[in-house]
């Protein structure tokens, strides 16, 4: 047994805790005020708006982040206290606060600090030097409840759950109404969660956990912990967190700021290629095809197909009406030599150009430098070099080169591949006719499944950055000229003949200490974007750590993309293979990771479901057994006391019955949220019926999760939770997807309290 209650603290004791918490909030206000004053002073000194300057001025950005962090931790600043065997008291909170007036003693210990770990791990069997653990529950800045756990094995309560710490606080949090945004679990982290959160940084850590086990919360708290523990390393490389959809990212968006971390880059798969926001929907079978590893070969063929050899000699007419001819043999030789270099397509173009221009220059030289007596060509090497230079600048020659070996962007390559059935057939001979037809489409937006293909294409094409480098140098030249002008003004305003009375020497001015290039370098050091901003704009950015939620949904092509983003293979992958909904998703962690790290990865499991009540989990367990009899459902730690309801209604009355049930259920939720999970094919008609009766209901793409009633499909509901769930037409949900049982398992486990299923009769 872990602990036993130490009794209800007296009003006087609660009052003393209130005094201490109030003191902490006063210190927080002082820290925020100091950061705010420094921010204001810096803005006045540098000019401009906060938004503009925070992107360029590191000091402005630092002070702005401090103000934001101190505001974000306002709710629940202090949530615990540890009393040690030595009579010491340590208060635990979201950030560390120190007594700067004395000897810098900690007034509040950051929950991530090593000394704070006992708050989550200490039990009566292993107290770790702790005599009592106290949980403080606050509302705004007021202490509203205090729960004590005395870590005494001899007197531990026989009714306590051995695997739970802070059971009273945990159950209070689990039973609280949902708000439409995910809460952090910093006050109630359990032992198995803490071990994962604080696991070592290097390598790939896989967190397998069933519904309601806190996978997402663990991933987010791990991000905060790693940034705290490895700040120097990760602050420069950054942390990337990938979620399944934008609705999910909005749902979790406040967790990391509440943990005093604002530097993590949150993205969906559709946002992982700079400049592209992939939102277009497509058939599940098409997305699955694009996710298969065979697409590497298809894209490789598509690139090689753009390196053309004409069937007949290609004529190039120069301005003087001189005709040059490119024989197919010459083009083939140039193409083969460029390919043998092993460079990406766009970078190999330089070799191709040289070969072609040399061949054309030879034709010109033969005409104008031929010896009338039949001897060797009369032109010297310098003459030939000039001919090559002139040919390289001829528009007709450049056009011919672009036709035979075009410089391509990933977007152009993929768009032109999709638009041409001939190109698809040439690039994908290993695909069936049906699969080739699935890839064909006219112009339109990108889908999430296109993003890994764009990234793969970028690897195959390469980027010829010579033009960009030349552009950067031109910009720097203009900036250098401006810097020289600034220094010239400073030089002109300086008193040249002023002498130092003591030394008799000239007083040094700014122009004696700095030149234009050094001034420019200093300005560039100041004008830096944040790590997250730079990483978001740079496809080649190598992150210090990558966290993926719902990782079981990643296709083989998506895995390739993410591994390129993290060459160090420092990753945290959380998911549940039983909930895999995507056709190209992960069948097993070993299969997904073997190509990249072989067997050098660690598997941890979350086995306790905190969200899903036992009554609902019993229903979901039956579906899980149909998915895979070897899988075990997580063990629920609580019961709601309400058995799931199933209503069978005539199909013609399904929408009307749903409106009645939803109206009654929404009325019973005083501060919670109702989720209505429906088949994808019924979103429109059910959404229309519900919003007519309940105008506050949110329907459609990226619905407002703050609404009291939200209508979603299963993919949209992944990772979310609601106090009450109405599941509509489960048979159709199963029929709509080849992984329908997994979708049903997801839908059944979104509720924290009540579940109602509406099933139409045939």
Q: How much is the pLDDT for 338?
A: 96
Computed from CA positions of residues 532, 533, 537, 542, in that sequence, does the dihedral angle turn out positive or negative?
negative
Smallest CA-to-CA distance from 739 within 629, 628, 634, 633 is with: 628
What is the β-pairing status of strands 323-326 and 314-317? antiparallel
DSSP 155: G
Of the ranges 55-64, 254-263, 511-520, which one carries the lowest mean pLDDT score? 511-520
- What is d(CA 681, CA 304) in angstroms, rounded to the nearest whole number? 41
Helix (H) and strand (E) counts in the chain: 32, 22
Find out whether 148 and 80 touch, Cβ atoms under 8 Å. no
Pairwise pLDDT comparison (325 vs 207), residue with the higher score: 207
pLDDT of amino acid 1: 35
Average pLDDT over residues 727-751: 94
Q: Report whether pLDDT(293) > 90.
A: yes
**Residues 6 or more apart from 575 whose CB is under 8 A from it?**
207, 208, 215, 548, 549, 550, 551, 552, 553, 586
> Could you read off the pLDDT of 121-132 as tens digits, one per residue?
988 888 889 999
Phi, psi at residue 242, to the nearest 5°? -105, 125
Residue 756 confidence class, pLDDT cut points 50, 70, 90: very high
Check the CA dihedral 378-379-381-384 and report its sign: negative
Q: Rounded mean pLDDT of 463-472?
A: 63
Alpha carbon distance, N-terminus to C-terminus of the chain: 52
Report the C-alpha gap between 400 and 316 in whole angstroms: 7
Rounded-to-integer distance, Cα 651 and Cα 374, Å? 95
What are phi and psi for residue 271, nearest 5 degrees?
-110, 10
Query: Region 752-761: what's the mean pLDDT?
Result: 94
User: What percentage of the chain carries pLDDT values higher than 90?
Assistant: 63
Residue 109, classed as helix, strand or coil, is: strand
DSSP type of residue 126: S
Pairing mode, strands 239-243 and 204-209: unpaired
Q: Closest Cα to residue 563, out of 455, 466, 639, 461? A: 455
Q: What is the mean pLDDT of the chain?
A: 87
How many residues would you count in the chain?
762
With 70 as the cut, is the pLDDT of residue 500 above it?
no
Q: Please tell me the distance from the alpha carbon of residue 49 to that of residue 110, in angstroms, as a whole number.
A: 33
**Cβ–Cβ < 8 Å for 135, 17:** no
What angle (nearest 5°) sits at the alpha carbon of residue 347, between those of residues 344 and 350?
A: 135
- Taking the C-alpha atoms of residue 663 and residue 528, their distance in angstroms, rounded to an integer, is 52
523: pLDDT strictly greater than 70: no
Q: For 545-604, how does the pLDDT look when each residue is reduced to its tens digit (9 = 90+)?
A: 999 999 999 999 999 999 999 999 999 999 999 999 999 999 899 999 999 999 999 999
The pLDDT score that the predictor gives to residue 175 is: 81
Rounded CA separation 176/170 (Å): 10
- Stretch 693-701: mean pLDDT: 89
Q: What count of other Cβ atoms lies within 10 Å of the Cβ of residue 343?
A: 14
State pLDDT tens for residues 410-438: 999 999 999 999 999 999 999 999 999 99
Measured distance CA(449)–CA(457) in Å, rounded: 13
Q: What is the per-residue pLDDT for 450?
A: 97
* Triad 282, 286, 287: Cα angle to 5°: 75
Q: Return phi, psi of residue 698, to 5°.
A: -100, 130
3-state helix, strand, coil in the chain (%, to 5): 50, 15, 35
Distance CA 317, CA 729 (A): 69
For 46-59, what is each residue's pLDDT tens digit? 666 655 555 556 67
CA nearest neighbour of 633 among 686, 572, 691, 578:
578
Per-residue pLDDT band for 178 (boundaries 50, 70, 90) equals: confident
**Does pLDDT of 487 surpass 90?**
no
Evaluate if residue 193 carries a pLDDT over 70: yes
- Percentage above 70 pLDDT, the chain: 86
Q: Which of the four pLDDT bands, split at 50, 70 and 90, describes residue 645?
A: very high
Give the model's pLDDT for residue 496: 44
Residues 6+ apart with CB under 8 A from 493: none
Under the banding of pLDDT at 50, 70 and 90, the label for residue 176 is confident
Of 68-72, 242-246, 283-287, 664-668, the one with minimum mean pLDDT is 68-72
**Taking a C-beta distance cutoff of 8 angstroms, is the pair 262, 256 a contact?**
yes
Q: Quick one: three-class SS letters along 36-50?
A: HHHHHHHHHHHCCCH
Q: What is the pLDDT of residue 2?
A: 42
């Amino acid at each position: 047994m872990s602990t036993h209650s130490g009794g209800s603290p007296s009003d006087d004791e609660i009052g003393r805790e209130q005094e201490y918490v109030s003191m902490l909030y006063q210190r927080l206000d002082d820290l925020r005020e100091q950061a705010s004053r420094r921010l204001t002073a810096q803005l006045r000194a540098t000019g401009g708006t906060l938004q503009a300057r925070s992107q360029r001025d590191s000091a402005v950005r630092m002070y702005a982040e401090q103000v934001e962090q101190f505001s974000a931790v306002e709710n629940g600043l202090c949530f615990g206290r540890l009393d040690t065997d030595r009579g010491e008291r340590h208060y635990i909170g979201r950030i560390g606060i120190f007594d700067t007036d004395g000897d810098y003693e900690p007034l509040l210990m950051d929950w991530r600090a090593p000394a704070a770990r006992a708050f989550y791990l200490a039990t009566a069997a292993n107290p770790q030097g702790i005599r009592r653990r106290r949980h403080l529950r606050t509302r705004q800045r007021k202490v509203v409840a205090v729960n004590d756990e005395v870590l005494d094995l001899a007197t531990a309560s026989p009714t306590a759950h051995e695997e739970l710490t802070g059971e009273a606080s945990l159950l209070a949090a689990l039973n609280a109404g949902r708000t439409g945004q995910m809460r952090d679990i910093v006050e109630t982290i359990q032992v198995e969660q803490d071990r994962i959160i604080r696991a070592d940084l290097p390598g790939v850590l896989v967190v397998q956990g069933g519904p309601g086990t806190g996978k997402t919360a663990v991933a987010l708290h791990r991000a905060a912990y790693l940034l705290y523990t490895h700040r120097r390393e990760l602050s420069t490389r950054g942390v990337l967190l990938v979620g399944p959809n934008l609705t999910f990212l909005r749902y979790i968006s406040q967790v990391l700021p509440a943990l005093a971390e604002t530097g993590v880059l949150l993205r969906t798969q559709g946002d992982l290629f700079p400049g592209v926001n992939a939102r277009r929907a497509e058939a599940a079978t098409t997305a699955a095809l694009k996710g298969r590893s065979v697409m590497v070969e298809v894209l490789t063929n598509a690139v090689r197909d753009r390196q053309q050899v004409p069937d007949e000699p290609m004529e190039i007419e120069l301005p003087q009406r001189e005709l040059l001819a490119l024989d197919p043999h010459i083009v083939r030789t140039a193409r083969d030599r460029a390919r043998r270099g092993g460079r990406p397509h766009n970078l190999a173009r330089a070799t191709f150009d040289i070969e072609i221009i040399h061949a054309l220059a030879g034709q010109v030289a033969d005409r104008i430098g031929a010896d009338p007596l039949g001897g060797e060509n009369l032109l010297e090497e310098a003459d030939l070099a000039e001919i090559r230079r002139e040919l390289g600048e001829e528009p007709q020659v450049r056009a011919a080169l672009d036709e035979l070996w075009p410089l391509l962007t990933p977007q152009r390559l993929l768009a032109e591949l999709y638009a041409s059935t001939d190109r698809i057939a040439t690039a994908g001979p290993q695909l069936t006719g049906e699969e080739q037809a699935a890839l064909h489409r006219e112009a339109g937006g990108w889908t999430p499944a296109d993003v890994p293909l764009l990234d793969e294409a970028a690897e195959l094409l390469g980027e010829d950055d010579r033009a960009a480098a030349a552009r950067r140098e031109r910009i720097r030249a203009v900036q250098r000229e401006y810097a020289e002008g600034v220094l010239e003004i400073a030089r002109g305003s300086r008193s040249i003949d002023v002498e130092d009375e003591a030394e008799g020497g000239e007083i040094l001015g700014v122009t004696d200490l700095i030149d234009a290039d050094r001034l420019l370098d200093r300005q560039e050091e100041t004008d830096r974007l944040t790590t997250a901003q730079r990483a978001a704009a740079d496809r080649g950015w190598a992150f210090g750590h990558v966290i993926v939620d719902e990782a079981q949904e990643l296709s083989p092509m998506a895995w390739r993309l993410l591994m390129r983003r993290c060459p160090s293979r420092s990753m945290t992958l959380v998911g549940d293979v039983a909930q895999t909904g995507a056709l190209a998703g992960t069948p097993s962690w070993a299969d997904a990771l073997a190509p990249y790290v072989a067997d050098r990865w660690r598997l941890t499991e979350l086995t306790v479901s905190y969200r899903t009540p036992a009554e609902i989990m019993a229903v979901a367990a039956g579906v899980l057994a149909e998915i895979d009899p070897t899988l075990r459902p997580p063990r629920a730690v609580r019961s709601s006391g309400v058995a799931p309801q199933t209503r069978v209604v005539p199909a013609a009355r399904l929408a009307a019955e749903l409106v009645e049930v939803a109206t009654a259920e929404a009325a019973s939720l005083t501060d919670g949220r109702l989720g209505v999970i429906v088949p994808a094919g019924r979103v429109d008609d059910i959404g229309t019926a519900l919003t007519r009766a309940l105008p506050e209901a949110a329907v459609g793409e990226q619905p407002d999760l703050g609404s009291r009633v939200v209508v979603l499909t299963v993919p949209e509901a992944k990772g979310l939770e609601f106090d009450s769930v109405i599941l509509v037409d489960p048979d159709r949900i199963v029929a709509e997807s080849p992984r329908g049982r997994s979708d049903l398992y997801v839908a059944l486990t979104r509720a924290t309290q009540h579940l109602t299923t509406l099933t139409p009769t045939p």
